[in-house]
Amino acid sequence: MVINISRKLLSSLALFAAIIIFMQDVSAKQVKYIEIDGVIHPASSRFIQRAIDEANDSEAEALLIQLDTPGGLMESMRDIIKSILASDVPVIVYVSPSGSRAGSAGVFITLSAHVAAMAPGTNIGAAHPVSLGMGQEDDTTGVMEEKVLNDAVAFIRSIAEKQGRNADWAESAVRESASITETEALELGVIDVIAPSVDSLLVMLDGREVALPLGNRKLELTGVVLEEISRTWRDQFLEVISDPNIAYVLMMLGMYGLFFELYNPGTVVPGVIGGICLILAFFAFQTLPINVAGLLLIVLAIILFLLEIKVVSYGVLAIGGTISLILGSVMLIESPIPGVEISWGVILPGVIGTVLFFLVAISLSIKAQKRRPTTGLEGMIEETGEVIEKLDPVGKVKVRGEIWNAKSTVGKLPKGSQIRVQKAERNLLIVEEFKE
Question: Is 8 among the residues known to form the active site?
Answer: no
Q: Is 147 considered catalytic here?
A: yes
* DSSP letter, residue 197: S
What is the rounded distance in angstroms from the CA atom of residue 432 to the CA atom of residue 135?
Answer: 66
Cα–Cα dist 310/321, whole Å: 14
CA dist 346 and 392 (Å) reads 70
d(CA 249, CA 237): 15
Cβ partners under 8 Å of residue 309, min gap 6: 358, 361, 362, 365
Helices (H), ranges, 206-343: 233-241, 244-263, 269-286, 292-310, 316-331
Question: d(Cα 430, Cα 384) in Å, to the nearest integer?
Answer: 12
Q: How far is CA 199 from the centre of its chain?
A: 35
Spell out the alpha helix ranges (H) of 371-416.
Answer: none
SS3 329: helix
What angle, rounded to 10 degrees, do the helices at 139-162 and 105-112 form? 20
Catalytic residue among 104, 179, 329, 335: 104
Residue 367 CA to residue 383 CA, distance in Å, equals 21
What are the CA-CA distances from residue 240 to residues 12, 114, 281 (Å)? 54, 30, 11
Write down the catalytic residue from 82, 147, 162, 218.
Answer: 147
Phi, psi at 64, each rounded to 5°: -105, 120
Catalytically active residues are 104, 147
